[in-house]
Structure 1
Amino acid sequence: MDHYHIFFDLKPGANDLDVARGVARYMGHLKERGLIEGWRLTRRKLGLGPKEMGEFHCVVETRDLAQLDAAFQHVSSRAEPVESLHFAVNRFAANLTFALYRDFPDAGRQEGEEKF
């Protein structure tokens, strides 16, 4: 499983619950089409965490990079309805940071023949 992380803050005047509902609609759209496996939205608690990471964190789960690429292709089409769903979230996000992680150890990992 690959985990695409999106860290962000809200722009001034953005309503946190409206953004959360927008993320749910956007991610639901991608999940219904089989473009992602799952997602989760979290918010920093008690101010704990590096400021550079943003107050909000959305993690998107995909089977592999091919599925993630298919999701990117769909969103980058800028066609409706995904364009409006993406815009409804993106217009309120600031200070975005992205990361990509994978489950470890990898499913095909072998031991005993490593050279380093």
Structure 2
Amino acid sequence: MQGVDRLDQLRAKYSLADGHSMQKWHKKLALAFIDIARVNAYVTKCMVDESDKSLRNQHRQFMIDLASELISGKWKETAEDDGLLFADDISQRTSISQASDASDAYEVQL
């Protein structure tokens, strides 16, 4: 199956753009872009995390997790230390070191 067909299949079940009728075309286009971004995030998660292959409703569970993280405002922490994490408390700052040696390292804080 080609990429566009697979995208349409993954987008169709939980589509924001197809589920709402609007008179303005730009609103439907914006929702279609959100659908495509959601599907890309799901495909990326499936490529990285191969442990959940046995879960029957893997896409549904991904949607539930995504919605709950967006509503709560807190992201789950990644297994690696180099990931950028979001914390709503100023005392929980996350730093990223992205250089080969310590003199070129810089820190990004939220």
Greater share of strand residues, 1 or 2? 1
Query: Which is greater in Rg?
Result: 2
Greater share of helix residues, 1 or 2? 2
TM-score, length of structure 2 as denominator length: 0.30
Bigger relative contact order (CA 8 A; separation at least 6) = 1
